[in-house]
Amino acid sequence: MRVLVTGAAGSIGTVVCAGLLERGYDVAGLDMASEPEGFTGSWFTVDCGDPDAVSAVFGKLDESGRLDAVVHLASIPDEAALPVILESHVHTTAALLDAMVEHGVNRIVFASSNHAVGRTPRTDLLRAEVPPRPDTFYGVGKVAAEALLRLYADRYAIDALAARIGSFLPEPESRRHLSTWLSHDDAVRMVHACLTAPDPGFAVLYGISANTRAWWDLEPGRSLGYEPEDDAESFAARVEQAPETETDRVEAAHVGGPFVTEAYYRPALEGA
Ligand code: 15L
């Protein structure tokens, strides 16, 4: 299967590209950064918020065979002014979706985030059907990008999978991470499942490992074939060596943890 991975030089992109290449995928990497040393697929140094540049990449790929899917991981992974967020999450997704329609590419896997529903109080296991409830402009960007996926899935019958990723890290570092961790290997398993699930249409899943203390429902992922194998619990003894703090308690109150706190409050257009 031939896939275009955006944000291929980023933290999750590097891991996902290596994992997909190892599984035999034909990977084209796209990033604003130049090709990392040792990358074995093809590479495009391009801003995926630029629709002409994106269309040119799809045209170039067409010359050497069929592109099967896009894995859209490029974006600012943190809070920023609203216009910057919209450019980073929504414009890039729109440019890719338009190019997909133009070039007949039928599947996109999008790195959404738990922060799309981050303001949801943490009580029962969080289901994929909960209404959008962003905790930041970052979360607003993810909600809007998910809405775009839904629109293109309905209009053009594109398979569009939004993985609301938790805490993608080599190892959990805090009490919250014991619930929200997504291991490197599970991230690859998740993307592989999203790329190969038969006829998923539009789907939302939570991107976490098989954490004993998971706050979010793994069933939507499992129904797509995502079987996580890692569990943050293996790191619990180390993480819990330090006594529980007020920060831990605040982070446990809402899905989005720290992003819900006043430290993240800012005017939407400040610094734009
Ligand atoms: C995310 O979506 C962010 O990109 C990352 O910075 C973390 O905040 C992560 O979620 C998380 O919730 O731990």
Atom in ligand 1 nearest the alpha carbon of residue 176: 13
Atom in ligand 1 nearest the alpha carbon of residue 259: 8
* pLDDT bracket for residue 271 (50, 70, 90): confident
Mean pLDDT of 40-50: 95
In this prediction, residue 178 carries a pLDDT of 98
146, 152, 148: which is closest to 130 by C-alpha? 146
Share of the chain above pLDDT 70, in %: 100
Ligand 1 centroid from CA 60, angstroms = 33
Neighbours of 145 (CB within 10 A): 28
Residues in the chain, total: 272
272, pLDDT greater than 80? no
138 tagged catalytic: yes
Residue spans of alpha helices (H) in the chain: 11-22, 51-63, 82-85, 92-103, 137-156, 177-180, 184-196, 219-222, 236-239, 246-251
- Ligand 1 touching residue 77 (CB < 6 A): yes
pLDDT, one tens digit per residue, over 77-90 is 999 999 999 999 99
- Ligand 1 touching residue 112 (CB < 6 A): no
**In testing the pocket of ligand 1, which one of 117, 137, 167 has its CB within 8 Å of the most ligand atoms?**
167
Distance of CA 42 to the CA centre of its chain: 22
Give the CA diameter of the chain. Answer: 58
41, pLDDT greater than 90? no
SS3 content of the chain, % helix, strand, coil (to 5): 40, 15, 40
pLDDT, one tens digit per residue, over 155-179 is 999 999 999 999 999 999 999 999 9
234, pLDDT greater than 80? yes
CATH class for the domain made up of 2-264? alpha beta
Mean pLDDT of 44-72: 97
235, pLDDT greater than 80? yes
Q: Where are the domains of the chain?
A: 2-264
In this prediction, residue 121 carries a pLDDT of 97
Atom in ligand 1 nearest the alpha carbon of residue 138: 2
In this prediction, residue 155 carries a pLDDT of 98
- Ligand 1 touching residue 254 (CB < 6 A): no
Beta-carbon contacts of residue 163 (< 8 Å; ≥ 6 apart): 109, 110, 111, 112, 190, 191, 194, 205, 206, 207, 221
205, 171, 172: which is closest to 189 by C-alpha? 205
Neighbours of 24 (CB within 10 A): 8
Ligand 1 centroid from CA 165, angstroms = 7
68, pLDDT greater than 90? yes
In this prediction, residue 87 carries a pLDDT of 97
Ligand 1 centroid from CA 59, angstroms = 33
138, pLDDT greater than 90? yes
* pLDDT bracket for residue 230 (50, 70, 90): very high
Q: How far apart are CA 190 and CA 210, in angstroms?
A: 12
User: Mapping DSSP to helix (H, G, I), strand (E, B) and coil, where does residue 9 land?
Assistant: coil
User: What mean pLDDT is reported for the chain?
Assistant: 97
pLDDT, one tens digit per residue, over 242-269 is 999 999 999 999 999 999 999 999 999 9
- Ligand 1 touching residue 76 (CB < 6 A): no
- Ligand 1 touching residue 167 (CB < 6 A): yes
- Ligand 1 touching residue 88 (CB < 6 A): no
- The pairing of beta strand 69-72 with beta strand 107-113: parallel
